[in-house]
Amino acid sequence: MRSNAFYLAPVSIFERLKVSPTLLTIIGTVITSSSGYLFATGHFLTGAIVLGLGSLFDLFDGELARRTNRVTRFGGFIDSNLDRVSEFSIYLGLFLYYSGPVKTVIFLAFAFSQLVSYARARAEGGGYSCRGGLFTRGVRFFLLFFGGLAGPQYMRYFLMAIALGAFITLIQRIWIVGRQKI
């Protein structure tokens, strides 16, 4: 569990207000997804800020669920699926903004990001542990955030890093599962 006061203070407020962890998941998804629109319209700095704000809710919802003893498989299911919606919205926004060969990079970044998540879901569904790898969702969002701050001329390099890193992470997760004996 994290002990950072910055991290725990908002969770304590949500806990006192009796906010549902699922509500935080939904709010985070709406905020994060709206960054896709901002990227699509060329507002990269604002898009990055909105992405960062929405991503905080993704941190808070799980911690709130644990602190209020409301961790459920259904909550995890909703969280995982809405995470995919957020990612799709961001990459769609970037895909709509750019033209030319960078669209292929965006597609690869999105595809490998989804495959990283899919690999974990399939592994855990089969009884394997599949955490880890170089480019987890948090790392990918961190790079999207900083790519947005850097602006459209540099975002393409962050996307290249995400595409390559997510591909490597997919291979890592296959290797992680392959080494387990169940």
State the Cα angle at 63 between 47 and 15, rounded to 5°: 100
- Of 109, 90, 92, 94, which Cα lies nearest the Cα of 168? 109
Q: Are 51 and 141 in contact (CB under 8 A)?
A: yes
In whole angstroms, how large is the CA radius of gyration of the chain?
Answer: 17
Query: How large is the angle between the packed helices 73-97 and 102-125, nearest 10 degrees?
Result: 170
Residue 2 CB partners (closer than 8 Å, separation 6+): 8, 63
Phi and psi at 89, nearest 5°, equal -60, -40
Q: What gap in Å lies between CA 172 and CA 93, rounded to an integer?
A: 28
Considering the candidates 58, 61, 79, 83, report the single residue annotated as catalytic. 83
State how far the Cα of 103 lies from the Cα of 162, in Å rounded to an integer. 13
- 61 included as an active-site residue: no
- Active-site positions read 83
